[in-house]
Amino acid sequence: MSYFRTALLLAAMTGLFLAVGFMLGGQTGMLIALAIAVAMNFYAYWNSDKVVLRMHKAREVDRQSAPQFYGIVEQLAERAELPMPKVYLIENAQPNAFATGRNPENAAVAATTGLLKRLSSQEVAGVMAHELAHVKSRDTLIMTLTATLAGAISMLANFALFFGGNRNNPLGLIGTILVMILAPLIAMMVQMAISRSREYEADRIGAEICGQPLWLASALDNIQAAASRIDNEAAERNPASAHMFIINPLHARQLDSLFSTHPSTEDRVARLREMAGQTAAAGKAPSPWG
């Protein structure tokens, strides 16, 4: 269902782009905006992993420098039938983690030192399984496509602001002004909805990878409690990277609003607990981690 919802939202974003493109830029303006957005996001798709890891001063670790953490990721990657990703640590007291990379063969996972300090090894396994779920689902590609369309819509609005838009549209000047204001907001809402949908799906797949939904549920509760009290200065300076983390690292204190990149933690935990109950009722074998 989550994949279907994501597909519908992407289709809605595409339809919005086509409609806004005609209203504000005409065919020529629409193609120019799309070409610029594609070029920008193509570069980001190939280089964002290096940029974000450098942004958060992540250092790569291996079996010798972080044996327990590296071993957890290694076992989870094997269970998920994924290539072993690069593993990074971030010196930050706020417990959090993210995954990046354009595909499973070029993936990286990163966790803060606060995560390893505050969470049990089982909870860490739940968190890293969630991050590997993003890798397995190629969510970087999905979010790049979304960002491309949202960026193109914003560019069309800017074109209309400076050049007057498509004067031949059926709604006239007032319609152009309304579309110019509302289209970027609607695009942002759809983009955030896709981001929240991918988080729910990563929770589900991550719980399947580690075999213990309650480990991830417990981790989310603990991360949320700590993240609301502990600053992540690198994320605050670079809020565009906030959607990558398992829990919003910013102190916006918004949960399931239209413009939130993350679902509410309470909703995510409730779904995982329901999933654990269904697993137990079905009599499935416990995870070998347990």
Q: Which residues are CB-contacts of 217 (< 8 A; sequence separation ≥ 6)?
A: 126, 268, 269, 272, 273, 276
Domain-embedded: residue 286: no
Report the pLDDT value the prediction gives residue 68, as an integer from 0 to 100: 97
Residue 288 falls inside a structural domain: no
Average pLDDT over residues 62-91: 97
Within-domain flag for 287: no
234 in a structural domain = yes
Is the model's pLDDT at 40 over the cut of 90? no
At 38 the pLDDT is: 74
Rounded Cα–Cα distance for residues 29 and 136 (Å):
36
Does residue 116 sit within a domain? Answer: yes
Identified catalytic residue from 81, 105, 123, 131: 131
Q: Check if the beta carbon of residue 191 is closer than 8 Å to that of residue 258.
A: no
Q: Domain span at residue 175?
A: 2-280
Give the sheet arrangement for strand 86-90, strand by strand: 59-61, 86-90, 108-112, 97-100
How confident is residue 70, by pLDDT bands cut at 50, 70 and 90?
Answer: very high
Token readout for 210 is 């580690």
Query: How many domains is the chain partitioned into structurally?
Result: 1
Is 121 within the bounds of a domain? yes
Structure-model confidence comparison of residues 129 and 242, the more confident one: 129
Sign of the four-CA dihedral 93, 61, 219, 145: positive
Domain assignment of residue 41, yes or no: yes
CA angle (122, 127, 129) in 5-degree steps:
90
Q: What is the pLDDT of residues 160-211, one digit of tens each?
A: 666 655 556 665 666 667 777 777 888 878 878 888 889 999 999 999 999 9
Number of Cβ within 10 Å of residue 115's Cβ equals 28
Identify whether 131 is a catalytic site residue. yes
What's the Cα-to-Cα distance from 65 to each of 51, 68, 89, 285, rounded to whole Å?
23, 9, 10, 34
> What one-character-per-residue DSSP string does the chain give?
-HHHHHHHHHHHHHHHHHHHIIIIIHHHHHHHHHHHHHHHHHHHHHHHHHHHHHHTT-EEE-TTTSHHHHHHHHHHHHHTT-PPPEEEEE--SS--EEEE-SSGGG-EEEEEHHHHHHS-HHHHHHHHHHHHHHHHTTHHHHHHHHHHHHHHHHHHHHHHHHH---TTSTTHHHHHHHHHHHHHHHHHHHHHHHHHHHHHHHHHHHHHHHS-HHHHHHHHHHHHHHHTTS--HHHHH-GGGGGGBSS--S-----S-TT-SS--HHHHHHHHHHHHHHHHHTTPPPPTT-
**Residue 28 confidence class, pLDDT cut points 50, 70, 90:** confident
Alpha-carbon span 255 to 156, nearest angstrom: 30
* Inter-residue contact 45 to 141 (CB < 8 Å): yes
Inside any domain, residue 135 = yes
Residue 290 banded pLDDT, cuts 50, 70, 90: very low
CA 110 remoteness from chain centre: 14
Is the confidence at residue 159, as pLDDT, over 70? no
Mean confidence (pLDDT) of the chain: 83
